[in-house]
């Protein structure tokens, strides 16, 4: 795999224009990007990742003009765009005919966002069009937050990665469905908090799969229970449980909330201060590292319960779901 740098922006744009796939950094995770208007190029993304065709891709844009070529905006979307773009929020909107149905997995909507990352924005600007880009990992494995993770996961299947160092947000974007007037539905928790979105929208977000009166509401295709897992069995525990084999223990802070002051051998902190941003920023990198170290199991100790931790809980519960024992 060829590693490109910030000096290669024009070259990356040229490759994308020719229908190549290039991994590039965003503020959330590394994306596996292709020209979103080019169905052949987009098809390569599904092939490289081994991603099922029913799982739609998020489309990344560098300006509003390109957003409008991809989707029909509405007043609520415009408010959210004004407040949060560029940033880690994906808006699901009715798609235009220029977006191939492969991108949207046959849906008549498309997820759009503008990444808050200098290199991603430079590539989008040089290209002058939209990029379909899911996370640059094999389907179902942990998302990559460093170029090295992309190389580790996709070498032999992918030719180019643009190296932008560590992604600072570290978990995938918050996804909100605003495709129908009156709908403001959280499809995936992420770095942007529900309260921040509600404050700007001036309305409450709906969550989950059922509304108050029990009606089924939109769900997000591809948000499967099992997702984002390491290869090493991972368990969520209230306090350390396993005493046989080599077990890595992952903590969210030191000293408080029942966490040890100084961690034992094979103990790791996502943050020493129980800091949400730091935990999100370190989450995938630490799990990738533990996966390389050959542990028999990973115990994630005392997963925080506050609502602001929704994205971290969501990703870790999905990781653990792969290893749940069925009675
Ligand atoms: P990622 O794996 O981070 O690329 O996330 C893509 C996810 O965004 C998909 O798995 C879907 O859950 C969600 N998504 C993308 N497009 C749509 C859409 N049109 N409607 C609902 N959810 C979408
Ligand atoms: Mg993904």
Give residue-wise pLDDT tens across range 8-33: 999 999 999 999 999 999 999 999 99
Confidence of residue 131 (pLDDT cuts 50, 70, 90): very high
**Residue closest to 300 by CA, chosen among 247, 260, 245:** 247
**Residue closest to 121 by CA, chosen among 153, 164, 157, 91:** 164
Distance 42 CA to ligand 1 centre (A): 15
**Residue closest to 198 by CA, chosen among 313, 67, 84:** 84
The percentage of the chain sitting over the pLDDT mark of 70, rounded to a whole number, equals 91
Does residue 113 surpass a pLDDT of 90? Answer: yes
The 10s digit of each residue's pLDDT in 267-311 is 999 998 889 999 999 999 999 999 999 999 999 999 999 999 999
Task: Quote the CA–CA distance of 144 and 185 in Å, as a whole number.
Answer: 27
Residue with the smallest CA separation from ligand 1 atom 22 is 220
Task: Quote the CA–CA distance of 239 and 34 in Å, as a whole number.
Answer: 44
Task: Quote the CA–CA distance of 182 and 288 in Å, as a whole number.
Answer: 40
Q: How far is CA 124 from the centre of its chain?
A: 19
The 10s digit of each residue's pLDDT in 189-237 is 999 999 999 999 999 999 876 545 544 455 666 565 666 789 999 999 9
Q: Which two tokens stand for residue 69?
A: 């070529």
Confidence of residue 327 (pLDDT cuts 50, 70, 90): very low
Ligand 1 contact via 222 beta carbon (within 6 Å): yes
pTM, whole model, 2 decimals? 0.92
CB half-sphere exposure, 123, CA atoms < 13 A: 38
- Read off the pLDDT of each residue in 56-82 and give the average, rounded to a whole number: 98
**Residue closest to 184 by CA, chosen among 218, 212, 142:** 218
């Amino acid at each position: 795999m060829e590693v490109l740098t910030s000096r290669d922006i024009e070259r990356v744009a040229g490759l994308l224009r020719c229908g190549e796939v290039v991994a590039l950094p965003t503020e959330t995770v590394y994306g596996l990007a292709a020209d979103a208007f080019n169905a052949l190029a987009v098809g390569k993304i599904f092939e490289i990742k081994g991603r099922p065709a029913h799982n739609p891709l998020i489309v990344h844009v560098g300006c509003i003009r390109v957003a409008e070529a991809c989707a029909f905006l509405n007043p609520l979307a415009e408010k959210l765009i004004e407040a949060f773009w560029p940033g880690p929020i994906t808006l699901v909107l009715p798609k235009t005919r220029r977006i191939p149905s492969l991108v949207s997995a046959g849906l008549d909507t498309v997820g759009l966002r503008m990444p808050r990352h200098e290199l991603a924005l430079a590539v989008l600007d040089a290209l002058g069009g939209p990029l379909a880009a899911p996370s640059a990992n094999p389907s179902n494995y942990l998302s990559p937050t460093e170029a090295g993770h992309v190389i580790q996961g996709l070498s032999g299947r992918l030719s180019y990665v643009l190296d932008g160092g560590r992604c600072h947000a570290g978990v995938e974007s918050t996804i909100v469905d605003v495709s129908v007037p009156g709908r403001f539905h959280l499809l995936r928790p992420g770095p942007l908090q529900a309260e921040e979105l509600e404050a700007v929208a001036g309305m409450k977000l709906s969550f989950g799969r059922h509304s108050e009166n029990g009606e089924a509401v939109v769900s997000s295709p591809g948000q499967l229970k099992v997702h984002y897992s390491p290869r090493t069995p991972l368990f969520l525990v209230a306090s350390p449980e396993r005493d046989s084999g080599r077990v890595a223990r992952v903590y969210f802070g030191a000293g408080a909330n029942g966490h040890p002051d100084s961690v034992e051998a094979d103990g790791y902190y996502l943050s020493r201060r129980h800091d949400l941003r730091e935990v999100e920023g370190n989450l995938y990198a630490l799990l990738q590292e533990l996966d390389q170290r050959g542990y028999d199991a990973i115990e994630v100790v005392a997963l925080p319960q506050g609502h602001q931790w929704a994205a971290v809980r969501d990703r870790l519960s999905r990781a653990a779901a792969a290893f749940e024992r069925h009675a």
